Structure 1
């Protein structure tokens, strides 16, 4: 039997001297070659391999300080970007004063013996009148060759003028608006308070100097009147000035002649609308493509002087069986043509004595004089109505149309 604790076959002995067959012998040279070398501190510094220690500043890990510094840097950069981005447009401290646009309206009723013009179907509605030589539509709104002002560059001036021309065209020359649609492009160019004023006037017109639809736009009751010719003749001049530092004042004085038809009788006639706008534009407004309307003065003829004209223009038509009238002579000796004999251009005559009373308490004070505007259609003569000085009125002002238009 084998000894206790030995394998059944007995202990395995290797060589003749009894050594284990797997025993490895390490000689002295091998041992010396295998001596481990602990690098010194300088060696560790050179190799970059050293024990990592967590640095602390006032008991706080240094990595925390670095994270805080990085966060503060990001915040400073963001604040700086917002600050300089807000100043990039160069907006001055002055901003155009707020408030509703004042809408002054005058209706001219034909005097005794004055018969509105009857147009023959298919005939040129402007033939034989000064409007025959006017431009069609938007091209009739002339812009000045203004280069720059003290605080506005030439591109900024041009941008402001185009913004104004877009507004005028959208409210006066859009066939959809003539039939009652909203002039969305014009409305969106107004600041929020005047946008609400315009929309309220279109949806719920009132015969006053703030909420009348026809104080803003040219439109007719589509159930009774249609515009016979979409080629509206326009003669409008535009002036620009900078009476207040950082604010442009743009005035447009324009005449718009429409050929309209009564749906029940089929009678055609000409309908003339003379408007004077006063716009204020500052640099924030230019940046946002927005303007402010200070006031709009409107003279419409021939038109019934009724409160209903606050919602739609109400052209007066001649009798259906009346003979066609000759076109008016714009160069009358009395100088009552649209531009009068002074400059020889003439326009449909519309003169008379205003019967409405303008309340002085309703006048909107003008902080600065209006720039000179060349009147292109007559106003009621001998009346206190002056579109360049008048600031307010209550309801429609009635006048007398002294000659056919």
Structure 2
């Protein structure tokens, strides 16, 4: 009787002559060094079973993620991806607050070729700052474009306090206090958003000594009832909120603060700073940007209360001078009134003085000049 050949398998291999269990038992014995002859088995199937046994015998990688028992790296890439995701989200949060931090550095960005911020001023400049690159007009997104102030530092951080040292019989701590209070006055009088929109500069007034004759009463009168003789703009920067508002929240500042010894028990702090304010009309969503530039030069003193009739912790004002660029002439309502590029003409009296560059910090500002209202060569 003829034998019947085993049925063909779909993969082309003949049907096994032994079961999988028998084959696996033999292979385990062979791996353990046991004897016994191998049963007849097609080589492809033997390789497949042997490979499965090796995989079961090898230990799983330590904490290999599920779905990657061989530790092929996909789990690590997912972990790195999660960390990168956190970093990217943090970066996106910064960009949402201030997109220029990234956009200004992209190739082709508006400020991709902008020069870095100027180093702090350490001495009086020897000349007028050059023209800004290009002649582009300021925009609401770039309110300092076309101005030397584009490279200046911003806000209170631009007012750098020099190192304190014992001076004129006053301790290092006393001198540091005088420097710190001078900066507080400058910030409160020229950078406080509430003061800029016309509110009372109470923090600035609090720096000053009430024992200084006439000063505080005169300043308070100027705030409540301004006129030509009582003008708060001589010490404080104020804009009419019904007329103008800041374009953004950045004011550019450049200048320096220095120390000098006065009489015994007197420390002098000299401050010379220029502030540049970008402005738009109140209630105008699409109008142009104007810039008003104010330079202030003042000397404050801290006097030893053991030697002088002063209030401890308060400063005296020895002198203060101001120069304004781009505001109406002969208007004494306690506010600055900037001109805009699309104005028909000045709102106040016509300027009669000589042309002046408001960015020129090389000129001394002493209050002994011709005075009057001149023309600015640029804003």
- For the superposition of Structure 1 and Structure 2, which TM-score range results when normalised by the shorter chain? 0.5 to 0.7
Residue 302 of structure 1, aligned match among 307, 326, 331 = 326
Shift of residue 389, structure 1, vs aligned partner: 6.2
Counterpart residue number, 1:378: 360
2:338, 2:358 → 1: CA distance? 21
Q: Is the 8 A contact 1:117 1:318 kept in 2?
A: no
User: Closer, same or farther in 2 for the Cα pair 1:235/1:145, shift >3 Å?
Assistant: same
Post-superposition offset of 1:213:
1.1
For 1:304-332, what per-residue CA distance to the aligned partner results, in whole angstroms no more than 9, with x for missing partners? 21233x511111111179xxxxxxxxxxx
What pairs with 1:174-323 in structure 2 (closer than 5 Å)?
174-192=192-210, 193-208=214-229, 211-263=230-282, 266-284=287-305, 288-308=312-332, 311-319=334-342
User: What SS class does the counterpart of residue 218 from structure 2 fall into?
Assistant: helix
Alignment of 1:98-137 (within 5 A): 118-121=137-140, 123-137=141-155
CA spacing shift, 1:162–1:273, aligned 2, 3 Å: same
Runs of 4+ in structure 1 deviating by more than 6 angstroms, as ranges, are: none
What is the deviation of 1:277?
1.1
> 2: distance between equivalents of 1:376 and 1:157?
32
Match of 1:397 among 362, 372, 375: 372
Instruction: Between the two structures, name the one with larger relative contact order (CA 8 Å, sep ≥ 6).
Output: 1
| Structure 2 gap segments, 5+ residues each | 1-134, 345-352
| Alignment root-mean-square deviation, CA | 3.1
Of structures 1 and 2, the larger Rg is shown by 1
Tell me how far apart the structure 1 counterparts of residues 139 and 367 of structure 2 sit (CA, whole Å). Answer: 40
Q: Against the structure 1 CA distance between its residues 353 and 380, is the aligned structure 2 distance closer, same or farther, given a 3 Å change threshold?
A: farther
Q: Give CA-to-partner distance per residue, 1:45-101, whole Å, 9 cap, x none.
A: xxxxxxxxxxxxxxxxxxxxxxxxxxxxxxxxxxxxxxxxxxxxxxxxxxxxxxxxx
Q: TM-score, normalised by structure 1?
A: 0.51
Gaps of 5+ in 1: 1-115, 322-351, 356-374
Contact 1:232 1:258 in 2 (8 A): yes
2:180 and 2:326 map into 1 onto residues whose CA distance is 31
TM-score, structure 2 length as denominator?
0.55
Pairwise CA distance, 1:214: 0.6
Q: 1:130 to 1:170 in 2, by over 3 A?
A: same
Is the 2:138–2:144 contact (alpha carbons within 8 Å) kept by the matching residues of 1? no
Per-residue deviation, 1:205: 1.0
